[in-house]
Every structure is written in C-alpha cells, then in structure tokens.
Chain A
Amino acid sequence: MSKMATPTPEAKGLRQSMAWIHTWLGLLAGWILFAMFLTGTASYFRPEITQWMQPELRPATVSATQAAQTSVAYLQATSPDDEQWFIYLPDDRTAETRVFARPKPNPDAKATPTKRAAELKLDPATGVPLTARDTRGGEHFYRFHFQLQLPHPWGRWLAGLCAIFMLATSISGVITHKRIFVDFFTLRWGKGQRSWLDAHNVSAVLALPFHAMITYTGLITLVVMYMPWPIMANYQKPATFSAEAYGRDNEGEASGKAAPLAAIGPMMAAATREWQGGRPRTIIIRHPNDAAATVTLVQSGADQLNARSPSVTFSGASGARLSGSHRPGPAIATAGVMLGLHIGQYAGPVLRWTYFLLGLTGAAMVGTGLLLWTAKRRKPGTKPFFGFHIVERLNIATIACLPTGMAAYLLANRLIPVDISGRAGMEVSAMFWTWFGLATLSVMRPVARAWPEMLMVSAGAFAALPIVNMATTQRGFFASLMAGDGLFIAFDLVMVAMAALLGFGAWKAGQVKAKKAPTRRRAVSPSVQQQVREVVDAA
C-alpha cells in the first residue's frame, strides 16, 4: 500500500483504472452479491432455521448411540432387504434422526424404476417416525445462496461469476483506497456521500480478512465445476479423479448369505476412540443383514476445521473394523479446510455468531457500495440519466425489499395451513412473490418515499414474526422463556433486532430526504466543495 501512495503518474493511472474496475464490476454484481451475502449469512443457522420452521417437533435429547440403535431397529422392521441405509444422527443443532433407505435395484431392467423413498424423520428416543409440516427450512436460504433459484447449472455459474467480480472488486478496492490506515476508524454521520464512503470503507476494511476469505473459499468450493479442464486433461473419467483424490467407496457386492447385523453401539464407541473423541454423525449401512454387510461411520463436521470428514468402515456381520478412510493428500485437505472455513460447520456458538455478524458486515459493505454509486452521481438540479434511475430502483428492490421476502418466507411457514399439500413450495413462492411484488410496487413511488416505506415494510415483517409465532404455535416468546428454549428465544430476539435495524434505516432514510434541500444548498460552500473533491479523490 505504501508503495501505491507515491504520487508518480503511473501510480495514479493504476489507481484510476482500479477505481474504474471497482466501480463497474461492483455495480454489476452488487445486487446479486447482496442477496448472496444476506441468504448466506442466514445459512450459518441452517439447522436452527429448519428447527424453527417445524415447531411441532420437540423430540427429547438422547445419546447418539441410542439414536443409532432406535433408527437401525426401525429400518430393520420396515425395510430389512434394502441395498443401503443412510442414517443422519441428531446432534447439538438437529433434534431428530433422519433416515433414508435405498431399495435394491430391480433385476428386471424393463420394470419401472422403484421410486426413491423419501427421507424420514425419526424420534431419536423411540425410533418412531415423526410427522411435521412440509418445509424446506434453512435449506432454502442455503441453496439460494449459491444456486439463486435458477435451473442447474446456471445459478451456480452466475453465483461463481459474481464471486469472481467480488474478488476483483476486493483487490481493486484495496488498491483504490488511499488511506486505509489513516481512515481505519473514520466514520462520519450525516455528511451525505462522504458518510456512504466512510461506511463502505469501514465495513470493507475492518472485515477485510473475512471478505477475502469468504469470497475465495466460496469460489474454491465449486472450483471443479468452474474449471474442469485440469481434471479433463489428466483423467479419462472424472470418477477416476475422485476415486484417486477422495478414496474409493466400498462398493462390495452382497454375498447372498444372510447374517444378522452386529450391534451398532460398539462400532460407534470404536470409531469415537479412533477419532480421539470425534463423534459419528452419519451411518451408511450397505447390504444390511447380509454376510458381506458393511457399516460406515462418518465423523461429525462439528469437531474439525476440515469439512471433509474421515470415516471408518466395519463389517456388518462381525462388527470388526475393516478399513478407515484414506488420509487425504495435502491438496484435498486444503480444499476441505477451505470449504470448512466457508460453511463454518465446525464453529461453536460464539464463532457461529461471529460468522453471522461478519456476514452482515459483508451485506453492509455491498449495500453501502451500491448506495455510494448513486450518491456520487446524484447532481442537484440536473436531470439524472436513464441508467441512474435503473440503479436507484434496483437498489431499493434489493436492499429494502429482499429482507421482506426473507421474512415472508418465515411468515408463510406459520400462516400456510400445516397439512396442505405442496406447502413447502408455497413458502418459497411467498418469498419471491413478496420480494418482487414489493420491488414492483416501489417503482410506483417516488424514490424519496420508496426508501423509507419499503424499509418500514421490511421492519414490520420482521417485527410481525415473533407475534405470529406466538399466535400460531405453542412456542411463543414467553412460553419459550419459561421452558428455557434457547433456540426459540434467540430466534425471536434476532427478528426483533432485524426489525429495529431496518426500522432505524427507514427512520434515517425518511430524515435524509426531509432535510435534503438544506444539504444541497450547503454543498455550494467552499469547505464542502473541498470535501467533495477529497471524496472524489478517495473513491
């Protein structure tokens, strides 16, 4: 940075071209990035959101071993002849066991393929199937974050393109920013464009390690999709690559000889010993009740930075340890840690909240950047050009209306009847209809009114959530407080905090527009002109 500060002509040229890149790439990707940041931030609480969206599920907490035993017993009773069982054990963040059974392929090739059985939720204590309202839960925000509700593979491509733009704007932003250290703590309120620049700088610079990490690791997560050529050049089939990189799955055939499945408890204990206290999260049982049955235990991602968890395989008949997952090479281990850093599944409560707040900082950085673009180009007394209107409207549609859409998704979960069919899809539709509907409505209002109004609507939607939750479930705020239900208490508090934040934004937006005329007149005074020159310089 200090090298960049030397006022040679070349340096100035570099900074100007970087400023151009920063401005235009940032603008192009900004709206999608804002949505990606906001939904990605929510995704740090993916299991919690899912729990909140199925309030009728309140299974008692039992040990993982008991949950494994009850779910194996359930699968033995319902589908003992299946090819494969998948069991996802409950943990600190998921209350119920999820099971999924894959039947044997029909030997008659012409027969219609057997329909995939749906995933079931079981009570960990008893192994009895649980029924709850159909919802996509936190999974929806998570999927939207990188698939953008577009058909495969376009969503992922678009998300990747935006991430590349984000990476480019991060680097060009650092080069453009002349006074990173001098202005490190500088945030001045109520000074129009100067304030937006300060807010953009502060949210970007203070959380720069997070922004750089999250953008880069996000890209790396899908790198095999974005850049398939190294693998294509070196491997005949991509499957060969994954087998070499991640180790081969145990694809052993069934022997056809029946043998009872060994007890799961001792295998779990053995795996935990092998992982030095790491807990198993997923159990995969191949060919249950066959002499060649295998039981693979996969370690929980909550115990380690690397998101690709090791596994250990036991013989289903004897319970003896057969093999452990092969130790990943340095490249795969690095990729796993990068993925782990991005999704933060390893993070305990404190670190998870840190991630959440950092994600909000990211959304703030993108949002203030978008607002800065318009603030810089708003010339008093002149008619703004056409593109300016588009940017201004898209800013309102994204920054002020998307939060309402997300709140509408949660509200729809409480308001759509529990047993209606297709309700999970209706919840998702509620988010987009609300978002785009309000965005359309906002176009019909003057800009000065649209900002406070739309922000007020979103504040209202978030404020309504605790009330609607109290009215439609047994788990309202006071009931949760009495029951010591931390998740539901925290959820309500976060909703109120979001409402307060958006309400504050609405109030400020209303104020700014109200005293617009005096600020404009002041802008003619020399000292402010000086400031403006400073701003133009810095940006």
Chain B
Amino acid sequence: MPLEPGLIGYAAFASLALVIKKHRPAPPLPAMPSPQVARVMGWMLLIVSAINAMLRFGPAIGVVAWIGQLCIAGAVFVLCLAWQPRMALAAAIPALVLAAGLSLA
C-alpha cells in the first residue's frame, strides 16, 4: 500500500513541531534534535515525501496524493500530540521505519 508519503509526512510534521518551543517536551526526548536541526529535517522530510509520492503515483496523481496524505498525517499528528505529546513525537521514528519497509516491499 502506497502510504509512505503520509508516514514520511508524519515524521516531517513531528520534526517541524520540535521547532516550536511550546511543543518541545520538558524532559527532552532521548536524541531530540535542536530546533535548527529539526527545521531542516522537517523540510527535508517533506521533500522526500513529495518525491516518494511522485514515484509511487506518477506526477499528476502524485501531487494530489502527496497533499492529501500530508493533510491526514498532519491531522493525525495533532490529535496524537494533544493526547500523548511525547509518544506522538517519538512515533516519527517507527513511522519512518514503516515507510522505509513499505517502499522496499
């Protein structure tokens, strides 16, 4: 199932949330990037997600799929962040691993 754009998008949003001070968890997560690094990482992941969508769906439908899955990933991330902030941020790692697995499968 071509879900990688959304999964990578989730990780991208988690990174971008770490740029904003109020979303940085108080005892920091292990291996939490600094705001500067998180910003670069977040934007890089968004680009990777876009490239992945183009490759998986073709350029025309890829754009639609990319934006659509990003919107859903963002909504899911915000819901998780409101509920369990630490877990929501940490879930970026398994999301990326799953995306890697799906794109190799």
Could you tell me which A residues sit within 8 Å of B by CB distance? 182, 184-189, 202-203, 206-210, 305, 341, 346-347, 349-351, 354-355, 357-358, 361
Contacts and interface: CB of A to CB of B under 8 A. Distances in A.
Contacts of B81: 185, 187
A354 B69 contact: yes
Contacts of B1: 349-350
B2 A206 contact: no
A179 to B, nearest CB: 11
Given A185-B17, A189-B82, A351 B68 contact: yes
Interface residues on B, range: 20 to 34
B44 interface: no
Contacts of A186: 22, 78
A347 B67 CA distance: 14
Contacts of B60: 305
13 contacts: A184-B20, A185-B17, A185-B20, A187-B78, A187-B82, A189-B82, A202-B78, A208-B71, A210-B68, A305-B64, A341-B64, A361-B72, A361-B75
Nearest to A189: B82
A188 B2 contact: no
Interface string B49-91: 0000000010011001101110110110111011100000000
Q: Report, nearest first, the 3 A-B pairs whose CB atoms are least far apart.
A: A187-B82, A206-B74, A354-B68
A8 B78 CA distance: 32
- Chain A interface, DSSP helix/strand/loop, else mixed: helix
Contact of A182 (B20, B67, B68): B20
A311 to B, nearest CB: 21
A209 B65 contact: no
B30 to A, nearest CB: 21
Nearest to A201: B78
Contacts of B22: 186
Given A182-B20, A305-B61, A355 B68 contact: yes
Contacts of B68: 210, 351, 354-355, 358
A70 B16 CA distance: 57
Contact of B79 (A187, A341, A358): A187
A209 B9 CA distance: 15
Contacts, number: 67
Contact of B3 (A210, A350, A358): A350
Nearest to A187: B82
A185 B72 contact: no
A349 B83 CA distance: 29
Given A186-B78, A189-B82, A358-B71, 17 more contacts: A185-B23, A185-B77, A185-B78, A187-B78, A188-B82, A203-B75, A206-B71, A207-B72, A305-B64, A350-B1, A351-B57, A351-B65, A354-B65, A354-B68, A354-B72, A358-B72, A361-B75
A192 to B, nearest CB: 15
B73 to A, nearest CB: 9
A182 B22 CA distance: 10
A492 B13 CA distance: 32
Contacts of A202: 75, 78
Task: Point out which of B68, B74, B82, B83 has the most chain A C-beta atoms below 10 A from its C-beta.
Answer: B68
B46 to A, nearest CB: 13
Interface in B1-57: 1-3, 6, 13, 16-17, 20, 22-23, 57
Contacts of A185: 13, 16-17, 20, 23, 77-78, 81
A361 B71 CA distance: 9
B65 A350 contact: yes
A162 to B, nearest CB: 22
Contacts of A209: 67, 71
Nearest to B56: A350
Nearest to B6: A354
Nearest to A349: B1
Contacts of B74: 206-207
Contacts of B78: 185-187, 202, 206
A347 B81 CA distance: 30
Contacts of B61: 305, 346-347, 351
A8 to B, nearest CB: 26
Nearest to B2: A350
Given A185-B13, A358-B72, A351 B64 contact: yes
B55 to A, nearest CB: 14
B13 to A, nearest CB: 7
B29 to A, nearest CB: 16
A358 B64 CA distance: 12
Nearest to B67: A209
B14 to A, nearest CB: 9
